[in-house]
Amino acid sequence: MSLFDHVEFDQHEHVSYVCDPDSGLRAIIAIHNTQLGPAMGGTRYYPYLNDADALTDVLRLSRGMSYKSALARLPLGGGKSVIIGDPKMQKTPAQMRAFGRFLERLGGLYIAAEDSGTSVADMKIVREVTTHVSGCDDKQTLEGHTKSGDPSPATAYGCFLGIQAAVEYRLKRDDLNGLIVGIQGLGNVGYRLAEMLAEAGAHLIVTDINAEAVHRAERELDAKAVGLDDIYSQPMDIFAPCALGATVNPHTLEQLQASIIAGSANNQLDTAETGRRVHAKGLCYAPDYVINAGGIIDVCYEKQGNYDTDIVNQHIEGIYDTLMALFERSERDNMATSDLADTMARERLQPAPVQPT
């Protein structure tokens, strides 16, 4: 299939296939839109079944990054990169340096950061050969402690605020005490989100392919563990997808008992039509690239060189207001929040009108 005929191709500005035989690097870099600024987005390292799956993922993810930055009001475009392989078995410093050299060739058109399968340490290796990377620098917390460049805490904080917004709008409550939240995925973001929810008084149901993460949640957060495929049918108020995408689909939607879908995963809906089904069922859906924008906000300020924890947190807290406005407009216009968010993002990505001379 031609790239331009691909179902997920959305007028992407640039797609690079990257191969470095010496290190074994095989990657794809997709730049969706740079109308608002240079493209920024994470580098996912994942054992895709085939190259076609990797291309589909990077095209979807890069478009989501354009929309994410647009609705977060950041001076950034959208891009994403995927490295094909098992990060636990195949990832090496030589590969990350080779990836960095390809970034350097793009001349700043795309700025990388960490994502699933990559880490702050990986990005620091990339930074040895290029400046076009973020999420590397240590930062100060509000309590005066030092934290790493990992944007996961910022993503989790934004998701927590987004869940609060959905609960206020859908359940007419200003607290989470006693609510049941099903968390699918206990990675860097999912576990931090679980900690925040437990501290707020929510009861947790959790699942993950990592058994140790599940056992930790049972021990530390008094969470109930269920099987990977059993999470959907659990009695819960909020379903929080925090793993990979497309877990909200017609099959899982039939089982879902929650009234709110709000989590950190990218591309939670398998298709746009599923978003309309969510709306038709009366569920409150927080569009993924709106609720999980905390991380890109964090690394954007780092890259600009003006990182201030108070200002960054204030920007992340705007996610709450954006979602409340989305929920209200969705109800008023009888339009799925997923479609509405896409529409609003595309409006912000339109080129400025040319002024007559």
Closest CA to 297 of 270, 272, 320, 324: 320
Pairing of strands 238-241, 180-184: parallel
Q: Which neighbouring-strand residues pair with 183?
A: 206, 240
Q: Is 80 a catalytic residue?
A: yes
Provide the 3-class DSSP secondary structure of residue 167. helix
Tokens describing residue 221: 């957060």
Q: Give just the sign of the alpha carbon dihedral 115, 196, 319, 326.
A: positive
Is residue 107 packed enough to be buried (19+ CB in 10 Å), middle (13-18) or exposed (0-12)? exposed
Could you tell me the end-to-end alpha-carbon distance of the chain, in angstroms, rounded to an integer? Answer: 44
Distance, in Å, from the CA atom of 43 to the CA atom of 319, rounded to the nearest integer, reads 23
How far does CA 57 lie from the centroid of its chain? 13
Helix 51-71 / helix 294-304 crossing angle, nearest 10 deg: 80
Distance, in Å, from the CA atom of 242 to the CA atom of 210, rounded to the nearest integer, reads 13
Q: How many CB atoms lie within 10 A of CB 88?
A: 9
Residue 172 CB contacts under 8 Å (≥ 6 apart), including other chains: none
In 159-198 the beta strands, taken as DSSP E runs, fall at 180-184
Task: Select which of 80, 91, 139, 303 is catalytic.
Answer: 80
Instruction: Beginning with the edge strand found earlier in the chain, give each strand of the sheet holding 203-207 in spatial order.
Output: 224-225, 203-207, 180-184, 238-241, 260-261, 284-285
Q: Which residues are catalytic?
A: 80
